[in-house]
A and B are shown apart, each in its own frame.
Chain A
């Protein structure tokens, strides 16, 4: 009898202790809410401002010391969920940016003992701090999208150069490789790949090599889709070659200064989808509808001296 009662009391007390411990820990509390009371899982939506802008800043500066395996100050910043849970000092996000411990520590001068990241590590830029501040001011939400942060500083543009991987490039080049090789044999100087890492080609008229003529264009027939740059400066090319040029769907740059292409032909180049830049003889400028080029997003540059 007493044993049974004793067991009940111990069971009740340990359950109480367990629930107190769980409720003391935000992670445990959240887990209980989600599993026992069916609340939606606490996580950032894929299109949220957090995923687009805030997460990458945490990854760049914080996650090295605040992750699953190494959580200094018991704080983890490797996901939205963990950031909400906070660390040893409790909540770090605060109600807005002024009450946020996270931002306060980030804004301390670099040589302060409490500054984050600590002295010697790379610090956040002003723009990055601004992004975090704006996010905190709107309630550190995991669902608000970029639209809600229209005034946020632009994302930093990072140019990445891919390593040189000959197999992959060879694969990309394969559909036209034979044709290009054949052309390169005939025009070793005029036909070149844009780069070792590119499958696109560049065709250049060179004064000291065999000329690029209307006749040469008939030989280009099979490689037209991969021509990205076409430099015909002073080449004896006429309107006859226009149909070929209009079929160069990857063309981004064309120099037709000093050629015999007429203004109406040149006007048709606005239909090339990728074209960004045209160099054209200055004498033809008056006959061209410049506005249409502008609308198509094509920069038109004029060349004054031809055939020197």
Chain B
């Protein structure tokens, strides 16, 4: 960090300062936060790395069991009351009017007047030695009940999808902050220098509402942002060389580009230039490693069947399998987004008795297969698998005519 500041200050003229006004905010942040940090007198952790290796691994502050994270985010927020949060008492009040005490001073999206209550829609049973309640919508997950930790105390003050997702991923409902994966790769780096430390896989009908900032790097250097992989064609755009371009020719072009970028850095002194050089170098190494990581057709028929994955047909199952392949390659943070969980019944695909059932079926088998597979490969004990959402369901039916 010191290095970074020094180089920036040394090279900067007033004109360049104004030119780079996009960075003005981050400069202001450094100006206000840095002296305060120095004055505080506490030991600050050093996150500096060689400019050419932004992803060099750093040890965590305390010894940790977890070496990598697979984070599955269900965009649109599945109803916990149909999956893990069993409410037998609510079933008794199914269809009755919601008591006023529950509604006073509260605001619910799409609800007006006095709504009636809705009981659990699917049957629940206890599973495993822990006796965790899981509904019949996730039958494959039942056998993993004792390996799961359910956190039911999460709270949000956001009631719209996009801000809630941004809050869940960056800790702030407003945009501009680094995402959880960006912080992780910034703080810990990544073991594999030939692949991005933070990879993002998206499935479902469209991107999550929060957009790219869910895996953005905010005010951190752009080297730490998530690399979104496409589900069709090249997983990463322009990963393969164009026709008639050999690997050595690509090397030649990159060397030329590097020279020019170095010159640019000499005159401007913008560290983002060095980040860019590092990115190009990684992309070159990635051509080999990533094409291999994304070739799920190499998997045995048995494995493909276990996940329910079909090469060439993008799905959450494929992404789960890819997540395992990336985990095997020591990628630090792997994020999966699945869109289409907003089950408040505006249409058939968003209904608890249709779309929701399909979505459950799409994720149940792959997640279970992923857990089994991680175990069979000795990766389960140092991989943290998170399944989460950004909003929780409430139990009010909409009043007629809304």
| Pairing of A with B | yes
Please list the residues of chain A having a beta carbon within 8 angstroms of any beta carbon in chain B.
Answer: 161, 163-166, 188-189, 192-198, 200, 204, 206-209, 233, 255, 257, 277, 279, 301, 303-305, 308
B289 & A196 in contact (Cβ 8 Å cutoff): no
Look across to chain A and name the residue whose beta carbon is closest to the beta carbon of B299: A308
Q: Mind listing 13 A-B residue pairs with CB under 8 Å?
A: A161-B62, A189-B191, A192-B57, A194-B59, A198-B62, A206-B330, A207-B192, A208-B193, A303-B377, A303-B378, A304-B376, A304-B377, A308-B377
**In the assembled complex, how far is the CB of residue A52 from the closest CB belonging to chain B, in whole angstroms?**
28
Binary per-residue interface labels of chain B (180-210) against chain A in the complex, 1 for a CB within 8 Å, 0 otherwise: 0000000000011111000000000000000
Tally B residues with Cβ within 8 Å of A.
24
Which of these, A165, A195, A277, A305, contacts B60 with CB under 8 Å? A195
The answer to the question of B45 belonging to the interface, with a C-beta cut-off of 8 Å to chain A, is yes
**In the assembled complex, how far is the CB of residue A186 from the closest CB belonging to chain B, in whole angstroms?**
15
- Interface members, chain B 44-70 (any A CB < 8 Å): 45, 56-57, 59-64
- In the complex, what distance in Å separates the CA atom of A210 from the CA atom of B373? 26
Q: Please indicate the chain A residues that have their CB under 8 angstroms from the CB of B328 in the complex.
A: 308
Seed contacts A189-B193, A233-B378, A304-B376; 12 additional CB < 8 Å A-B pairs: A189-B191, A192-B59, A195-B61, A197-B61, A198-B63, A206-B192, A206-B330, A209-B191, A303-B376, A303-B377, A304-B377, A308-B377
B60 & A301 in contact (Cβ 8 Å cutoff): no
Chain B CB count within 10 A is highest, among A188, A257, A308, for A308
Q: Please indicate the chain A residues that have their CB under 8 angstroms from the CB of B329 in the complex.
A: 207-208
The answer to the question of B15 belonging to the interface, with a C-beta cut-off of 8 Å to chain A, is no
Look across to chain B and name the residue whose beta carbon is closest to the beta carbon of A201: B59
The answer to the question of B43 belonging to the interface, with a C-beta cut-off of 8 Å to chain A, is yes
Q: Please indicate the chain B residues that have their CB under 8 angstroms from the CB of A193 in the complex.
A: 59
- In the complex, what distance in Å separates the CA atom of A279 from the CA atom of B379? 10
Look across to chain A and name the residue whose beta carbon is closest to the beta carbon of B194: A208
- In the complex, what distance in Å separates the CA atom of A1 from the CA atom of B373? 108
Q: Please indicate the chain B residues that have their CB under 8 angstroms from the CB of A197 in the complex.
A: 61-63
A195 & B377 in contact (Cβ 8 Å cutoff): no
A194 & B377 in contact (Cβ 8 Å cutoff): no
- In the complex, what distance in Å separates the CA atom of A178 from the CA atom of B328? 32
Q: Please indicate the chain B residues that have their CB under 8 angstroms from the CB of A209 in the complex.
A: 191, 193
**In the assembled complex, how far is the CB of residue B113 from the closest CB belonging to chain A, in whole angstroms?**
37
Q: Please indicate the chain A residues that have their CB under 8 angstroms from the CB of B57 in the complex.
A: 189, 192
Look across to chain B and name the residue whose beta carbon is closest to the beta carbon of A204: B191
B59 & A257 in contact (Cβ 8 Å cutoff): no
- In the complex, what distance in Å separates the CA atom of A255 from the CA atom of B377? 11
Which of these, B45, B63, B378, contacts A279 with CB under 8 Å? B378
Q: Please indicate the chain A residues that have their CB under 8 angstroms from the CB of B59 in the complex.
A: 192-196, 198
